[in-house]
Structure 1
């Protein structure tokens, strides 16, 4: 799994691209991103022929004091499996006996 960030000079957002490798997707038919900046709504990642998934989202840099957002990934193939980014910047408790991945959008 990987995260790439593009800091925009014209808007108070960071364009963050989330990519899940075919290996990490473990044969899932669909992969979704759930992020607190997106109200924990499932955002689908696009599946590519090589089996990896990718999506870019804009995360605000002016709505929070700490500029960190919790997120998790959902792998779906009939049932759903919640997973963290193996290479996340850090992790925070999710309140349900586990952790969420964290992405920082500060420069």
Structure 2
């Protein structure tokens, strides 16, 4: 599993851990999670490379909405999350974005 959700009782946010498996990230030196939660910034949300070869990042996202995202591996390789709640076509029509739903 590459996405873990932890809904907080104290505030309307969910701690979401995004994880790029070794099979996707082993060729990359760096990775970022990029989505509408960070205005699709390719540098705002770097992921930490783990000793296992995976990349991981944890974000606090507002609940009761969904977010589109993708992983940027290195400088140019884009990847989707196979464990995302859904996928939707990009506005460019050439690929898909992963979707995470945080309805609580």
Structure 1 residue 50 and structure 2 residue 52: aligned? Answer: yes
Cα drift, residue 26 of structure 1:
3.8
Matched residue, 2:9:
9
Inter-partner Cα distance in structure 2 for 1:11 and 1:74: 30
Unaligned runs of at least 5 residues, structure 1: none
- Which of 76, 82, 98 matches 1:80? 76
TM-score where L is the length of structure 2: 0.89
Q: Which runs of 5+ in 2 are unaligned?
A: none
Contact 2:3 / 2:16 at 8 angstroms: preserved in 1? yes
C-alpha root-mean-square deviation of aligned residues, in Å?
Answer: 1.4
Aligned to 2:30: 30
Instruction: Give the drift of 1:68.
Output: 0.8
Q: What number of residue pairs does the alignment pair up?
A: 101
The structure with more strand, counted as a fraction of residues: 1
Moved over 6 A (4+): none
Say if 2:93 is the partner of 1:106.
no
